[in-house]
Structure 1
Amino acid sequence: MSLPRPASPRALLADFRAFTRERSRAQWVAAVLAVLMPVIIIIGFVVDARTNIMPGEQLIYVDSWSANRSDAEIIAAQKVRQEQVDAAKAERQRQYQELEKRLGME
């Protein structure tokens, strides 16, 4: 079984013209809308994928310490920072316990 001969560009153009003449204006509008809706949705996904994906500017605070500080000074500073962290955790826990009482979740 052999394949059909390829059509010439003229025959293709003639077939396309005949096809377009048989269609009403409403069918063409519906066809254009049927193609445009998915294209618009895909463009929306592409635009959304490129929006707000990079992290914003970040500020990094660096403590400046003298180069000749003693181990005792380092340990004292670490204890102060640990106390601050513990106090923040305790405050957060107190807030959650207060919320629990207000919601009656005891």
Structure 2
Amino acid sequence: MFNNWDVGGGLGDFWAYIREPRPHRWTMWGVAIALTWVIFHGVSQYLIPYEKPERQIIYFENWQADRSEADIRADWVARAKETTRENARRRAEYQKLADLLGVDYDSSEADKLTRETLGQEADELAKKPAPTRSTLAERAARGPKPATAPRQP
């Protein structure tokens, strides 16, 4: 059925149908084109609206023009240390996830870099005890929690 397509015959039949003199053919063509335009215009304008981006005011840190090189470097170092702290926190979270999943996760190179950057503070970050979660067996061994009385209005 779909193996032998006759595109030329189909186009010829369509052209013959269009050329037949019908009393309202131009009116129907006009209505068909106008209706198609209205539908496409309506879809493009109202169903898929395009919102123009609003102006944004982006504030940035304004530095004094007479800052010294030492001040500039101190700012850089402070931002680098904050980034390193955040990376160490994320690394600790990934380590916890790896421990829960039983996946080997080696962060020794990154920990060494953190110690070089933060010094004593890195050891304090590493010493913070990770909050331990109790297992289902431990919770079952503790027994049920005491029920609290419902509040009355």
- What is the TM-score with the length of structure 2 in the denominator? 0.35
RCO comparison, higher one (Cα < 8 Å, 6+): 2
Which is richer in helix? 1
- What is the TM-score with the length of structure 1 in the denominator? 0.48
